[in-house]
Amino acid sequence: MIRTATTLVCLSLILALANGLARPAPFPALAPQDQESDQTAQPEEELSQKEDVSGPIGVFADIEEGWRKGDVDRILRHFGKGRVSIAIEGGPLGGSFSRDQSFYLLTDYFKYTITKKYEFVQYRNVDNGARKAYAIAERYYKKSDDGRLFKDKIYVSLQVEDGRWVVSEIKSTR
Note whether 150 and 143 are within 8 A (CB). yes
pLDDT at residue 54, rounded to an integer: 64
**Strand order of the sheet with strand 84-87?**
95-97, 84-87, 164-173, 149-161, 132-143, 113-124
Residue 44 falls within a domain, yes or no? no
Residue 9 falls within a domain, yes or no? yes
**Residue 122 pLDDT exceeds 80:** yes
**Residue 43 pLDDT exceeds 80:** no
Domain total of the chain: 1
**Residue 63 pLDDT exceeds 60:** yes
pLDDT at residue 31, rounded to an integer: 35
pLDDT band at 101 (very low <50, low <70, confident <90, very high): very high
Range with lowest mean pLDDT among 1-5, 35-39, 65-69, 139-143 = 35-39
Residue 155 falls within a domain, yes or no? yes
> Which positions ≥6 away from 124 have C-beta within 8 Å?
133, 134, 135
Residue 139 falls within a domain, yes or no? yes
Q: What is the mean pLDDT of residues 41-50?
A: 41
Specify the long-range contacts of residues 21-28, CB closer than 8 Å, at least 24 apart. 21/100, 23/100, 23/103
Residue 159 falls within a domain, yes or no? yes
Residue 48 falls within a domain, yes or no? no
CATH of the domain at 92: 3.10.450.50
**Residue 105 pLDDT exceeds 90:** yes
Domain of 159, in residue numbers: 2-25+53-173
Residue 77 falls within a domain, yes or no? yes
Which amino acid does the sequence have at 127?
D
Which amino acid does the sequence have at 69?
K
Q: Among 18-32, 85-99, 106-120, which range has the highest average pLDDT? A: 106-120
pLDDT band at 174 (very low <50, low <70, confident <90, very high): confident
Task: Give 33: exposed, middle or buried? Use CB within 10 Å, 0-12, 13-18, 19+.
Answer: exposed
pLDDT at residue 41, rounded to an integer: 37
Residue 125 falls within a domain, yes or no? yes
pLDDT at residue 16, rounded to an integer: 44
